Structure 1
Amino acid sequence: MADVRVLVVDDQEPFRDAAAAVLHATKGFVLVGYAFDGATSLLAVEQLRPDLVLMDVNLPGMDGLEATRRIRASGGPPAVVLVSTYARGDLGADLLATGADAYVAKVDFDSECLRSVWTGIRRRAQE
């Protein structure tokens, strides 16, 4: 099976570094690039063709929720996982109405979480 190609979208360097470390430590996942805001993420998705986008909710300019809506409007790949420092309940009901495949609190993001979320996304795609 081919590696899962991942795009990390976050304006904060510490999380980009942490996400890169998790991806490098998790067999079967490969980091293909970064974007720093919602508008740039749309271009990166077109150019890099990732399988999975880790999308921060709070981004400068176009936020991660709007960027996710636009990515998912195509109906095809990539899968989008929203990430934030906030608890899911603090972000409101709009969160998964964006078309996102999942939400992960940044504090919970590690190799086990990544594998679990990807497995859930793949399982739902096969249903």
Structure 2
Amino acid sequence: MEVAAVSQEPDVRVLVVDDQEPYLRAMRAVVDATNGFTVVGTAATGQESLDVARDLVPELVLMDVNLPGIDGIEASRRILSEGTGTVVVLLSTYDRDDVDLAGSGAAAYVPKGAFGPDRLIEAWTSAHGDG
């Protein structure tokens, strides 16, 4: 008799932050298609991401680097300074070398064009030392 392994862990709660609707939808679709992850909220600006993160306390924030007002780097710093254990993964259309990630505290950087379920899982497990 075979018994399918069923995870007792609840889904990772994800906040998706991007000011461009097509990218926001694409990132949300990747999360929705990845077992073990669920989108609990979205935001379109750095300031909005701070407010939503404070209200929802997500475990993972997928943060666009280039946002109006407070950019993704500064928003990441502020979210991480709350000390809730939230993991931030930065995403951008720019090459990693073109983005100053210093001091952001982000667990990973993923180019938007390379973002998919495998990269989501990889970033999450790497941040938790599970992989």
Larger helix proportion of the pair: 1
RMSD between superposed Cα atoms in Å = 1.2
Gaps of 5+ in 2: 1-8
* Alignment equivalent of 1:46, drawn from 41, 54, 71: 54
Rg larger in structure: 2
Partner of 1:87: 95
- Give distance in 1, aligned partners of 2:102 and 2:25: 25
Deviation at 1:96, TM superposition (A): 4.1
- Give distance in 1, aligned partners of 2:63 and 2:121: 16
| TM-score normalized by the length of structure 2 | 0.89
Partner of 1:76: 84
Partner of 1:115: 121
TM alignment of 1:51-70, pairs within 5 A? 51-70=59-78
- Equivalenced residue count is 122
Determine helix, strand or coil for the equivalent of 1:80: strand
- Give distance in 1, aligned partners of 2:22 and 2:113: 12
Which stretches of structure 1, 4 residues or more, deviate above 3 A after TM superposition? none
Determine helix, strand or coil for the equivalent of 2:103: helix
Gaps of 5+ in 1: none
Aligned sequence identity (%): 52
